[in-house]
Amino acid sequence: MAELAERSGVSAGTIKHYLREGLLGAGTDIVRTSRNMAWYPPVYVERIRLIKRLQEDRFMPLKAIKGVLDEDPARAEALVEVEDRILQQALERQGATGDRVSKAEVRRRYDLPANVLDRLTELGVLTPNSRGFDEEDLKIIQAFVRFRAGGFDETLGFTVYDALRYREALEPLVEEEVRTLRDRLVGEVPPERAAEIIAAGAEPLRDLVGALHTKMVVEELRRQLGGASSTAGSGGGARSPS
């Protein structure tokens, strides 16, 4: 136990708790040599490290971790590796494109009222930290500036709350997308390659969503205008003299 605690970086008391909760399996692979002495398989070292990563980095409760490990521990470890690679790439891109931008600097750069910026943050559309807004936040801010410049402003009833429609519509789509990526990539290709594939798909996906949205808006306008014309024509016929 002392050696297991040293190698895994977790206290003996915590390891015993994991054993009681069944997080390290049924314990049939533990070789007990006396009442107070036992040998544990080396695989426990990586399993314990994985549990701590899921606890501390993913904030997962032990009950959820047990479910993941019972299902497929190798896949859970591969998933963590992929997520770590994606996070690392995101941090590298952020470092390459510059630091975060403060709220004061955003107000100086962009013609966006302070209350709009505050509401977007309150709604979770923007997610600044103590150092300011990141690159994706700035893209959203720029989009809102262009919307308002094009006439989508409060005088016509457009507010920041309209952004919630898009976020709510995207949530189930993103959940399904992540589920699909996990099913098709995690465990099938090395973590580094999986992260590269996901990163490479970001720009084409933006283009795909944008093009589909444009096509669907045109189709929906035609459908609604066609329905309105049919209704007007029908009503007009009823009023015609016989």
pTM of the model: 0.64
Res. 19 pLDDT band, cuts 50 70 90: very high
Predicted confidence at residue 95, as pLDDT, reads 55
Answer yes or no: are the C-beta atoms of 42 and 84 closer than 8 Å. no
Q: What is the mean pLDDT of residues 155-179?
A: 89
Predicted confidence at residue 233, as pLDDT, reads 62
68-77, 197-206, 217-226: segment of lowest average pLDDT:
68-77
In this predicted model, which residue has the larger pLDDT, 87 or 207? 207
- Rounded Cα distance, 92 and 235, in Å: 63
Domain boundaries, the chain: 2-71, 87-221
Res. 238 pLDDT band, cuts 50 70 90: very low
Angle (deg, nearest 10), helices 202-239 and 191-200? 40
The pLDDT of residue 97 is above 80: no
2-71, which class in CATH?
mainly alpha
The tokens for 15 are 């390891």
Res. 241 pLDDT band, cuts 50 70 90: very low
Res. 229 pLDDT band, cuts 50 70 90: low
Nearest to 139 by CA among 157, 120, 152: 120
Predicted confidence at residue 4, as pLDDT, reads 94
The pLDDT of residue 142 is above 90: yes
Which CA distances in Å does 194 have to 119, 198, 205?
36, 6, 16
- Rounded Cα distance, 98 and 164, in Å: 28
The pLDDT of residue 164 is above 70: yes
Apex 145 CA angle, 140 and 147, nearest 5: 90
Predicted confidence at residue 210, as pLDDT, reads 92
- Rounded Cα distance, 208 and 179, in Å: 19
The pLDDT of residue 208 is above 90: yes
- pLDDT tens digit sequence for 32-52: 888 888 999 999 999 999 999
Answer yes or no: are the C-beta atoms of 117 and 223 closer than 8 Å. no
Predicted confidence at residue 84, as pLDDT, reads 77
Average pLDDT across the chain, whole number: 85
Percent of the chain's residues with pLDDT above 90 = 40
- Rounded Cα distance, 126 and 112, in Å: 14
Q: What is the mean pLDDT of residues 62-86?
A: 82
